[in-house]
């Protein structure tokens, strides 16, 4: 568990499902993400899955209610001996634009360099997702390049991929 001034960044618990459903059930969440809105039962299953692994971290408010306001994926990239982790985040729109994603991401990046012997932490986002670009930059990450048509999350009416571009950001332990 990691604590910041306003947040607790911790492993998922099965009981997080209602708060997770609150934002993963919204269409707007999937503008820059794969998937589609989920049901309450899917949120329950997802929380149980995530509580058994180490790739997803729950972000909760520190004071009072300790409400789940978002989550961070933090996955070690292959090959593992490169000591690189990939950071991603999704936050409830009710808690966006308040610095929470930056605060939680900074804590995980610091943890990676201090405790996981990370050499590098990377993050990817759509060039159209200005808010995510800003979070990564506020975390001290450098935009290293534009990956052209490197991913797709949806297909068009003819079943063809709708290709998307991504910015790649990174920060090194020595930074």
Q: Is the pLDDT of residue 64 over 80?
A: no
Domain ranges for the chain: 2-172
Going from the C-alpha of 61 to that of each of 8, 71, 95, 101, 103, the distances in angstroms are 6, 12, 10, 12, 11
What SS3 class is residue 39? coil
Out of 3.30.465.10, 3.40.630.30, 3.30.70.1290, 3.40.50.300, select the CATH number for domain 2-172.
Answer: 3.40.630.30
Q: What is the largest CA-CA distance in the chain?
A: 50
pLDDT tens readout for residues 7-55: 999 999 999 999 999 999 999 999 999 999 999 999 999 999 999 999 9
Q: Residue 133: which H helix or E strand, with range?
A: helix 130-138
Structure tokens at 158: 């003819």
Q: Is the distance from CB of 37 to CB of 30 less than 8 angstroms?
A: yes
pLDDT tens readout for residues 148-166: 999 999 999 999 999 999 9
């Amino acid at each position: 568990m990691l604590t910041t001034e306003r947040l607790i960044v911790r492993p998922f618990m099965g009981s997080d499902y209602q708060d997770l459903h609150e934002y993963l059930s919204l269409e707007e969440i999937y503008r820059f993400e794969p998937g589609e809105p989920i049901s309450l039962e899917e949120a329950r299953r997802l929380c149980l899955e995530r509580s058994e692994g180490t790739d997803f971290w729950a972000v909760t408010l520190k004071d009072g209610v300790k409400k789940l306001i978002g989550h961070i994926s933090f996955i070690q990239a292959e090959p593992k001996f490169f000591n690189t982790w990939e950071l991603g985040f999704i936050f409830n729109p009710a808690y966006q634009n308040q610095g929470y994603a930056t605060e939680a991401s900074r804590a995980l990046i610091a943890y990676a360099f201090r405790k996981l012997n990370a050499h590098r932490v990377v993050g990817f986002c759509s060039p159209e997702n200005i808010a995510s670009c800003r979070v990564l930059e506020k975390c001290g990450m450098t935009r290293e390049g534009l990956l052209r048509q490197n991913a797709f999350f949806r297909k068009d009416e003819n079943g063809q991929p709708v290709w998307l571009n991504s910015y790649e950001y990174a920060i090194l332990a020595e930074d």
